[in-house]
Chains A and B, each alone.
Chain A
Amino acid sequence: MTTIREKLVLVGNGMAGIGTIEQILKLGGAYDITVFGSEPHPNYNRIMLSYVLEGSKTLNDIILNDWNWYEDNNITLHTGTMVTRIDEGSKQVVTDSGMLVPYDKVIIATGSNSFILPVPGSDKEGVVGFRDISDCDAMLAAAKQYNKAAVIGGGLLGLEAAKGLVNLGMDVTVVHLMEDLMERQLDRNASSMLQAELERQGVKFSMGKQTVELSGEQRVSGLCFSDGSTLAADFVVMAVGIKPNVTLAKDSGISVNRGIVVDDYLQTSMQNIYSIGECAEHRGMCYGLVAPLFEQGMVLAKHLCGSDTKPYEGSIVSTKLKISGVDVFSAGEFLDSPEHTVISSKDEWKRTYKKILLKNNVIVGAVLFGDVTESANLQKLVKQGAVMTDEIYTEVMGTGCCGGGAKKSTSVEAMADEEIVCGCNGVTKKAIVDAVTEHGFTTVDEIKACTGATRSCGGCKPVVEQILQFVLGDSFQQAAKQGICGCTTLSRDEIVAEITAKGLKTTKEVMNVLGWKQEEGCSKCRPAINYYLGMMNPDTYQDEKESRFVNERMGANIQKDGTYTVIPRMYGGVTTPEDLKKIADVSLKYDVKVVKVTGGQRLDLIGVKKEDLPKVWEELDMPSGYGYAKSLRTVKTCVGSQFCRFGTQDSLGMGALIERKYERLDFPAKFKIAVNGCPRNCAESCTKDIGIVGNDGGWEVFIGGNGGIKPRIADSFCKIKTDEELIEVCSAVMQYYRETGNYLERTSEWVERMGLERIQMVILNNEDNRKELAARIDFALTQVTDPWKKMLNDSSTRAALFEETRV
């Protein structure tokens, strides 16, 4: 017997709507489902657009339900189609393409639109919102063509857009009406710390400015403010807010306020028509974040499937900014007033801030900056309306220590099964518990693969860990302890200690004896162990090519198309006409695609075919520049006293000397040095692992600088009189880093982890120690050879590595 299924039509192919459909499918709801979406894509994770813009994700990465998903679940999908009206009389929805589709029930999940300021000029070319894939594409395209961008709006969206555009190389100013950034989520303290941090990352700000007009011809060329001042910009992102998309509801005669008005079961004023997501207004609230949408979706799905459900009673929202290196969090109430009891602590040195608001001793809100480890916990406490106790205080404010774990698991225990743990992906506590008990998963990564929790903003990771701990009990102890990778629970220091204690000789031995889960390790631990073994036994350890990343194995940098780049050494950034000629000849002969001057003052031959690499090295007949390795890269120099009228020290000479001395040695990560002739610092010491600056009586040494993903200005380490002392200090710093650094840890992170004072104490206050460190690096340096030469002399390895067989 076949029953006729009820027809369910979803308008809006976005996160709220599809989230609800997923729940309905899980509950086994028997509907014939049709979905309309005005965008030409399947459902994607809108909040990850920020990562697409920033460049760390591609559009493909953020698809949540691909085309197959719709097909597999027998869902009829119409993309690129707008629903224009719901006709209650004939029970049909009407589309802009003239389609008529009958329904029994409709879910309106049309989301919102970017709010575009109603000022003259806002319709000019070069003005976009930040809402969907097409906006994102527009920004990526603009960054290629234009240089000056303005982002109007200093909220979450605006800041993420601004950081993304900075990463794309644009000069970006955020224009904000208020004096404080994210004033709807943060208090003044947190917001000023946030602004300072973003300024450090290259975003400019223009605060307290009201935009009254966008100037320009056809294309925007600037902004005019109410105080008469102006700002030049050839690209403008409007991120001033969102407007619930109520057109369809309004045109169909459904009652709307700011959003589409719904009751506690998400029912609109029209029978059989429901609404959820950003377009809906519940008890006077329209939400602009995903967590509430999933909570609404869960209630609606159950309601539509006829299972028992509590009514939806509103959500407490929390915010996390998705910009790397900037951790801010807020939940519930965040501005203190006389009726609040305020607990706060601000640390201007570590740049952290924590505030918890109590009302009649109940936790009603929290703000965190810098250190957000307690965010998940606080979010839960706010949501539960927990009463502040001594234990909770100790837990969240971090005084005292012991027994925290046990307490945390009890609060997870108290959590309802249906409570959403991962707001971004709508994953409940039960879904995670089931994944553990039914599939035997024990790690956050496995939970992520199976349920999607932690996949987006990552804010829920601490709670997921607590749930794992709660469900697994003692067996989690093992999984919980973070080893250097998934293969082991041992930390770097434990591994190094075991290598010494047990006299382990090869990566195989290490993994065997120390009980690796995956016998031959993975791409994280094998290169690390190979490094540690080589660092500890420079003379006896047999380096394992098969444990090195491709670049170090091949002596060149692999590019995305499988070709390589070759960088010969140019000591101190100095070359000769003869060498230049050789480079030119080889580049022509081997059809090099691009010859580029690198940031480190040398030449990069880009696009060499793998099988040509050995011939290129042979004909260049220059030392490898190690442009691919976790090793000394370049020593950048300025002109210095040989030629510069300001020069007080011979930076050229010292730079070349240092580069020759320390080249070829393995480090935990790549290593860069700069040498300057005077404090004008033309070779930019502040962003190098070691920065050396000459002065009238000697040198000043800086360490721990970085210009990469997480920029950091180097710390002044010491001042030195003679060249010999300079070399000794550099040697000691480098060797201390080699001996204590975690594999892949740059000195910028190392200095922060170890503490500058400690490194100074070890090296500056203890002469014996310093000399021993320097002697150890000198010994290691006697063992190194040029990898290109070595490969040229080893014809069988050379053939196996570089030549392709053709049959």
Chain B
Amino acid sequence: MNKTTQTYPIGSVQDFLLQIGRVVIAGNVELAVFRTSDGAIYALENRSPHPKGGPLAEGIVSGHFLYDPLYDWKIDLRTGEVQAPDQGIVMTYPVSLVGDIVTVSL
């Protein structure tokens, strides 16, 4: 099957508070979008890989890591990889900046 990528503008940079996640629904995917203190923006699927699930957007952000709000798993925002000793992976989506506008491609 051929998968086409679609790009969505999701707001301007200022809409994303530093180190505080925001929920964005793009198409039919719920994203958690984070702006780290160095200004980079990351978009992940807003679903914890923990077997009990739950959201990610409300976690604590440190550097390019996220501590998930319900189970405190440490997740790399760049790759979506859960850090040891826990295991799992979160879907990540490419983000780009066009002027002041943040876009994400799914």
Contact = CB atoms under 8 A, between A and B. Distances in A.
Given A58-B52, A805-B10, A805-B23, A558 B62 contact: no
Interface string B25-62: 11100000000010000000000000111110011111
Nearest to A562: B55
Contacts of A60: 51
Contact of A554 (B19, B24, B58, B72): B58
Contact of B62 (A518, A610, A804): A518
A759 B77 CA distance: 45
Contacts of B51: 58, 60
A523 B67 contact: yes
Interface in A429-464: 445-446, 448-450
B70 interface: yes
A800 B17 CA distance: 7
Contacts of B78: none
Contacts of B25: 804-807
Interface residues of A, number: 35
B60 A546 contact: yes
Contacts of A450: 84
Contact of B61 (A448, A546, A560, A804): A546
A640 to B, nearest CB: 40
A703 B59 CA distance: 34
Contact of B20 (A448, A546, A806): A546
B23 to A, nearest CB: 4
B10 A546 contact: no
A550 B69 contact: yes
Contact of A553 (B9, B37, B53, B58): B58
A218 to B, nearest CB: 36
Interface in B72-97: 72, 74, 84-85
Nearest to A799: B15
Given A805-B24, A807-B25, A522 B62 contact: yes
A176 interface: no
Nearest to A544: B19
Contacts of A521: 62
A561 B26 contact: no
Nearest to A59: B51
Given A58-B52, A60-B51, A805-B15, A519 B20 contact: no
A361 interface: no
Given A805-B22, A805-B24, A807-B10, A560 B54 contact: yes
Contacts of A87: none
Contacts of A449: 84-85
B24 A561 contact: no
Nearest to B68: A523
B69 A546 contact: no
Contacts of A807: 8-10, 24-27
Contacts of B27: 807
Given A448-B85, A521-B62, A561 B15 contact: no
Nearest to B33: A805
Given A553-B58, A805-B24, A807-B24, A518 B63 contact: yes
A797 B22 CA distance: 11
B85 A550 contact: no
B60 A523 contact: yes
B54 A561 contact: yes
A115 B58 CA distance: 49
B86 to A, nearest CB: 9
B92 to A, nearest CB: 18
Interface string A540-563: 000001110110011000101110
A799 B20 CA distance: 12
Nearest to A805: B24
Given A58-B51, A554-B58, A805-B24, A523 B72 contact: yes
A659 B61 CA distance: 34
A252 B44 CA distance: 57
B62 A526 contact: yes
A562 B53 CA distance: 9
A801 interface: yes
Contact of A546 (B9, B18, B63): B18
A553 B20 CA distance: 10
Given A526-B62, A805-B10, A800 B19 contact: no
A791 to B, nearest CB: 13
Contact of B17 (A445, A522, A562, A797): A797
A465 interface: no
A558 B21 CA distance: 15
Contacts of A519: 62-63
Interface in A197-236: none
Contacts of B84: 446, 449-450
Interface in A776-807: 797, 799-801, 804-807
A522 B67 contact: yes
A498 interface: no
A520 interface: yes
> Which of B16, B20, B26, B51 is most buried by chain A, counting CB atoms within 10 A of its CB?
B20
Interface in A612-633: none
Nearest to A545: B20
A518 B67 CA distance: 13
A805 B65 CA distance: 23
A568 to B, nearest CB: 22
A557 B66 CA distance: 19
A805 B63 CA distance: 24
Contacts of B61: 520, 546
A550 B60 CA distance: 8
Nearest to A520: B62
A800 B22 contact: yes
Contact of A523 (B9, B20, B62, B85): B62
Contact of A550 (B11, B23, B59, B63): B59
A804 B55 CA distance: 13
B15 to A, nearest CB: 6
B63 A520 contact: yes
B36 to A, nearest CB: 9
Contacts of A610: 23
Contacts of B69: 549-550, 558
Contacts of B62: 518-523, 526
A128 B11 CA distance: 58
A807 B63 CA distance: 28
A804 B18 contact: no
A586 B59 CA distance: 28
B73 to A, nearest CB: 10
Contacts of A547: 60
Contact of B58 (A445, A550, A560, A797): A550
A709 B11 CA distance: 44
Given A520-B37, A550-B58, 5 more contacts: A518-B63, A523-B67, A545-B17, A546-B17, A805-B15
Interface of B: 8-11, 15-20, 22-27, 37, 51-55, 58-63, 65, 67, 69-70, 72, 74, 84-85
13 contacts: A448-B85, A519-B62, A520-B63, A546-B18, A549-B60, A558-B58, A558-B70, A560-B52, A560-B70, A561-B54, A610-B23, A804-B23, A805-B15
Interface of A: 58, 60, 445-446, 448-450, 518-523, 526-527, 545-547, 549-550, 553-554, 558, 560-562, 610, 797, 799-801, 804-807
